[in-house]
Amino acid sequence: MTVAVVIPAAGRGERLGADRPKAFVDVAGRSLLEHAVDGIRPVADLIVVAAPTTLVEQVRSLLSDVEVVAGGDVRQDSVRAALALLPADVDIVLVHDAARAWVPVEVSWRVVQAVRDGADAVIPVVAVTDTVKEVESDGAVVRTVDRTSLRCVQTPQGFRRDVLVRAHAAGATGPSATDDAGLVEALGLTVVTVEGSAEAFKVTTPFDLEVARALMTSRSAGV
């Protein structure tokens, strides 16, 4: 089954406070996007990056072996633009965050295999380890949430191509629209989970960026 990877990389990443879109922030001499592409490449027959409109040509020069399309204002628009570029023989689509640039390849393979085994949609997850509180808008605690069944969701998320296309065509809004698996959930289809990894953390804040740089430093030193 042919596997395509879609990387929506058109977001501004305002919480990071960088002077450029988040996917293009430097870590150890290379952008987050380049690191993410390197990590996902072993499982992909084709990679499509949805880049900021002003940086499409730059990404084409930077990553000559991937397809590049202009992304949209929101994540759903970028994924839809990339889906439209996929050839007809693609059976499985992985949607991956450039900001999760160090996902171990075995996590990606677990996602691919689960789709090959018949799942409509697959997400890598890790257990919630912190105590979780539900709070009011004024900060007052309502209750302590049972974390036993809670999971933090990572990428790459994997889908049967026809399922993902249908989910994006339906265009759900609200809480279910925060990731691609949520769009599939809105169709009433089952999303299954596989084991994720602590290394699949998302670079969102300046602290996360420092963690990423420390990780690369330790890897370079063979630690």
Give the per-residue pLDDT at 16.
73
> DSSP characters for the chain?
-EEEEEEE-----GGGT-SS-GGG-EETTEEHHHHHHHHHGGG-SEEEEEE-GGGHHHHHHH-TTSEEEE--SSHHHHHHHHHTTS-TTEEEEEE--TT-TT--HHHHHHHHHHHHTT-SEEEEEEE--S-EEEE-TTS-EEEEE--TT-EEE-S-EEEEHHHHHHHHHHT--GGGGGSHHHHHHHTT--EEEEE--GGG----SHHHHHHHHHHHHHHHTT-
Give the per-residue pLDDT at 173.
65
Which CATH number applies to 2-220: 3.90.550.10, 3.10.620.30, 3.30.1330.100, 3.30.70.580? 3.90.550.10
Give the per-residue pLDDT at 22.
85
Q: What are the structural domain ranges in the chain?
A: 2-220
For residue 208 the two structure tokens come to: 């996360």
Give the per-residue pLDDT at 197.
97
Residues in the chain with pLDDT < 50? Answer: none
Give the per-residue pLDDT at 187.
93
Give the per-residue pLDDT at 223.
53
Give the per-residue pLDDT at 143.
97
Task: Tell me if 25 sits within 8 A of 16, measured CB to CB.
Answer: yes
